Structure 1
Amino acid sequence: MVSVNLTDEKLNPFPGLRPFRPGESDLFFGREDESAGIAEKLLRNRFVAITGTTGCGKSSLVLCGLIPLIKRHASETGEKWNYIVMQPGKDPFGDLSSILARQNRDGKTLLFIDQFEEIFRYGIPEIRDSSGSDIKGFINLLASVVNGKYPDVYLIVAIRSDMISLCEHYRGFSDILNNSSFLVSPMSGKGFREAITGPIKAAGAEIDNDLVELLVSEVSECSDQLLVLQHFMLRLWIRWKEMNEPGRPVDMTDYSSIGTM
């Protein structure tokens, strides 16, 4: 395992309420099977729509699970990959057109469109939304990528599951979604254990096994499981660091001092 340098007091192996960022894959645990499943679909279909509830970890799964896996695949095969992350802004069609215009034949490109549902923030227009963004053109351009106009571009979109029905207004694209989608399910007990213990071990510390089992039991009863867990673990780590007892594992003392999950 790679050891992560967390000597800076401000650093924390848990992101809290924000997603994991690129470069934090050494702290990302518990989603190995999901990352492999998405990678298999992506390499086969050149497109995957990742769906799930708010806070289920879609962005983190792509940035710190899937992309590092594709990088390892590229290293093994000798392929060159480029990685681009975008979110729909005021002009999603123009932004996507610019990205595709810059693509060349020098390797493959993985394009990740995060928070895809943002294109619907002004409702469902026939052609254009109130900001002047050509939503239909944007979706048609995405469909052209999937259908082979840009054969070296591999596309990932992340969309909230409660918003995916809005895609039914665009028949061709809804068919594409049906052909290659991945629903991010709640973590298993094994996944939660890895998400708790992995970052702590990567940071050079330990955590009491009884506390791990208690946390897994408690988080399994929460509706926003990952958000609750990551926020609690961030606070737990801060408390443990404040005690300044590096030889002691994170234990029930720290848990009791900040309150239950």
Structure 2
Amino acid sequence: MQLNPKESVTDIKKAIFNPFPGLRPFTIKESHLFFGREGQVDEVLLKLQQNRFAAIVGPSGSGKSSFVYCGVIPLLLGGFFPERSSNWNIITSRPGGSPIENLAEAILQNDEIYVASDREKQQIQKAIVSGLLRGSSMGIAEAVKQSKFLSAKNTLVLIDQFEELFRFRKQDIYKESINESLAFVNLLTEAMQNEELPIYVAITMRSDFVGECAFFPELTQAINNSYYMIPQMTREQKRRAILGPVAVGGATVTPRLVQQLLNDVGDNPDQLPILQHALMRTWSYWETHHELNEPIDVPHYNAIGRMEEALSQHANEAFDELTEQQKLICERLFKSLTERGAGSVGSIRRPTKLSYIAATANAPIQDVIQVIEKFREPRRSLLMPPYPSLLHEDSIIDISHESLMRIWSRLKNWVEEEGEAVQMYQRLSEAALAYQVGKAALWRPPDLQLALNWKLKHKPTLAWAERYNPAFERTMVFLEYSQKEYETEQRIKEQQQKKALRRARLTALFMGGATIVSIGFLVFAMTQKVEADRQKELAVKNAKDAQTQRETAEKNAREAELQREAALASEKEAQKQREAAVLSEKEALKQREAAERSAAEAEKRRIEAIDNANEADKQRKTAEANE
């Protein structure tokens, strides 16, 4: 779109409009903004023609609702359906919390008199049609016959988000709801088999719920005969889904932003509503911040948090605008609109009446409406019905798309908290029933304390509880009685403990006196014991000394004995020596005598020698003289 430089920014803003619906599906009136699935509708129309039924199935976020609203229905209204005129009634409904009642409301929306009536008359008409639908499996055909606005036209009954029906079958305690789901399916199968009226049925359903249809044999057969798996969009189709609405809206977008968006969305079909929301936010930011003739570009996209954060930031912006009291209502609002899925099934949307939300939040309806309006303002569209639909107590409130439950972190936490709260309530209600029939006892800690904490934190109401188990009063009485009985037991225990404490005190006083006396005796005994120990130690010492002395005496005695023995031996030796001495003396005497005799002999000899020498000398002298 070429812009005149002389045009003011105000004139430019009047010339352009934001063509992206955001998180919600495209509506029939927005079919001129729906791009990317050209040529895919013919097969659905052929299945409708052959079987008067079509099941449009695909993953969450693959664009099933938008495909029907902006692809299938416009061609029907345009007269492209073989052998049929363009004169069509379109009845669009969702199972929600009451499938048949919602279908009755959808049928009456085609009645101009009903739309123009006041609330009281609408309630009466709605009750009549609901009774008609509940009274017979041919109820849809009968309702079409009795309506002058429907009987002369072809009728398409479109059940969007058909998977909402399956939550009834998963919870066996809701027998009435299970029966209603069966009756609802019978209404659809009988309507498309009716040969008198041209009634056609189409449903949209998440592919991960296809297996749940096996519970309804006739519906399973119809799906097998007329099943359409919505194909994943190619990269080129996604490019057209971006460029087409931008051109219709009167702006341009840079190729690099288109490439960035295509890269971010990837091949995950769940990202399609996220892509639409990011484009809506990017457009809104560009619309208020762009320069003259500036195209939508990457900086505008980055400013809104890109595809990863745009939705979460957008929801947080709305939440942050609330007061503290409104934030509490908001939490209860979104917990009412979501349910934690079982097994591999993720969180499930639960379209809910505004009056029910107000009852569970324990808040006036007008206060709840003020919170809802924050999330469905123009260019926000996080809740349905879209702005500017007027809200009243019977309005059905819903999340625009499941992707909000998967991306908004605050809502994910709320879903988990709600799941845990429901689990606790169901455990408590089962225990209450078992107690009533005598198969279980009252709760005691830790279960009792967990239940009391749950009650304090979540503040359950009758309206909230009936959604999961209708025996709310019995359950709360069971919890209160468990608490009272436990507290009574605790009081009795405390009284018993007090009595025991008083007895213990008296006993302690008596025992204290006895203890003092005992301590006196003990001290005396200890003193005596100490003295006895001292005497014992002294006796032991004396005994040791005596033992030592005895051992010394014995040693001395042994030494004396040895010495005596040695003395005896010495005496014997001395005696021997004395005797030897006597002998020696006798021998010496003998020898002396012998010596004396020898000496005398020797003296005699010496004298004789002298005499001989003298004789010799005389003889020599004589000899000499003779010479």
Q: TM-score, normalised by structure 2?
A: 0.38
AA at the equivalent of 2:236: K
Shift of 1:236: 1.1
Rg bigger for which structure? 2
Between the aligned residues of both structures, percent identity stands at 37
2:163 pairs with 1:117: yes
Matches of 1:158 and 1:222, distance apart in 2? 19
- In structure 2, what is the Cα distance between the partners aligned to 1:199 and 1:34? 19
**Which residue does 1:202 correspond to in 2?**
248
Counterpart residue number, 1:153 = 199
Query: Residues 74 and 81 of structure 1 are in contact (CA less than 8 Å); yes or no, is this contact kept in structure 2?
Result: no
Task: State the one-letter code of the partner of 2:19.
Answer: P
Contact 2:282 2:301 in 1 (8 A): yes
Other structure's SS at 1:163 match: helix
The one of 84, 88, 92 equivalent to 1:85 is 92
- Contact 1:205 1:246 (8 Å CA) reproduced: no
- Quickly say closer, same or farther: Cα 1:250–1:89, change in 2 above 3 A: closer
What is the letter of the counterpart of residue 85 of structure 1? Answer: T
- Residues 90, 131 of structure 1: 8 Å contact kept: no
1:26-175 alignment runs, 5 A limit: 26-73=32-79, 78-93=85-100, 95=103, 97=133, 99-104=140-145, 105-124=151-170, 129-131=175-177, 134-149=180-195, 151-175=197-221
Match of 2:21 in 1: 15
Q: Distance in 2 between matches of 1:55 and 1:189?
A: 16
| Deviation, structure 1 residue 8 | 9.4
Does residue 250 of the first structure (1) align with residue 296 of the second (2)? Answer: yes
SS class of match (1:83):
strand
State the partner residue of 2:435: none
Alpha-carbon contact 1:144-1:150 (below 8 Å) kept: no
- The answer to whether the 8 Å contact 2:60/2:269 transfers is no
* Structure 1 counterpart SS, 2:272: helix
The CA deviation at 1:99 is: 4.6
Q: Deviations over 1:171-206 (max 9, x none)?
A: 122111100011122211121011101111111111
With 147-156 and 57-66 compared, the bigger mean Cα shift is at 147-156
**Letter of the aligned partner of 1:81 in structure 2?**
W
Task: Please list, as runs of the form range in 1=range in 2, the aligned pairs for 1:230-249 lying within 5 A after superposition.
Answer: 230-245=276-291, 247-249=293-295
- Please give the alpha-carbon distance, in whole angstroms, between the structure 1 residues aligned to 2:67 and 2:85: 24
Structure 2 letter corresponding to 1:57: G
Is the 1:74–1:80 contact (alpha carbons within 8 Å) kept by the matching residues of 2? no
Larger relative strand fraction: 1
Aligned residue for 1:3? none
The answer to whether 1:25 aligns with 2:31 is yes
Whole-angstrom CA distance in 1 between matches of 2:155 and 2:43: 19
| AA aligned opposite 1:12 | N
Cα distance in 2 for residues equivalent to 1:75 and 1:170: 29
Contact 1:92 1:133 in 2 (8 A): no
Deviations 1:199-240 (A, max 9, x none): 111111111223223322221254622022112111211121
Of stretches 58-67 and 69-78 in structure 1, the one that deviates more from structure 2 is: 69-78
Which structure features the higher share of helix residues? Answer: 2
How many pairs were matched up?
254
Are residues 1:212 and 2:258 paired? yes
Q: Are the counterparts in 2 of residues 93 and 133 from structure 1 also a CA contact under 8 Å?
A: no
Q: Which amino acid aligns with 2:275?
A: L
Shift of the alpha carbon at 1:245? 3.2
Q: Does 1:189 align with 2:235?
A: yes
Q: Distance in 2 between matches of 1:74 and 1:59?
A: 20
TM-aligned CA deviation for residue 88 of structure 1: 1.4
Q: Gaps spanning 5+ residues in structure 2: where?
A: 1-12, 105-132, 134-138, 146-150, 308-627
Three-state SS of the structure 2 residue aligned to 1:177 is helix
Provide the C-alpha distance between the structure 2 equivalents of 1:67 and 1:129, rounded to a whole number of angstroms.
35
The whole-number CA distance in structure 2 between the counterparts of 1:89 and 1:253 is 40
1:244 Cα deviation after fit? 4.0
**Does the CA contact (< 8 Å) of 2:35 and 2:245 recur in 1?**
yes
The verdict on how the C-alpha distance between 1:173 and 1:222 changes in structure 2, with shifts beyond 3 A counting, is closer
Aligned CA RMSD, in angstroms, stands at 2.8
| Letter of the 1:224 counterpart | D
Check whether the contact 2:62–2:269 (CA below 8 A) recurs between aligned residues: no
**SS of the residue aligned with 1:84?**
strand
For 1:136 and 1:222, the matched residues in 2 are separated by 34
Which letter maps to 2:266? S
Q: Distance in 2 between matches of 1:43 and 1:7?
A: 43
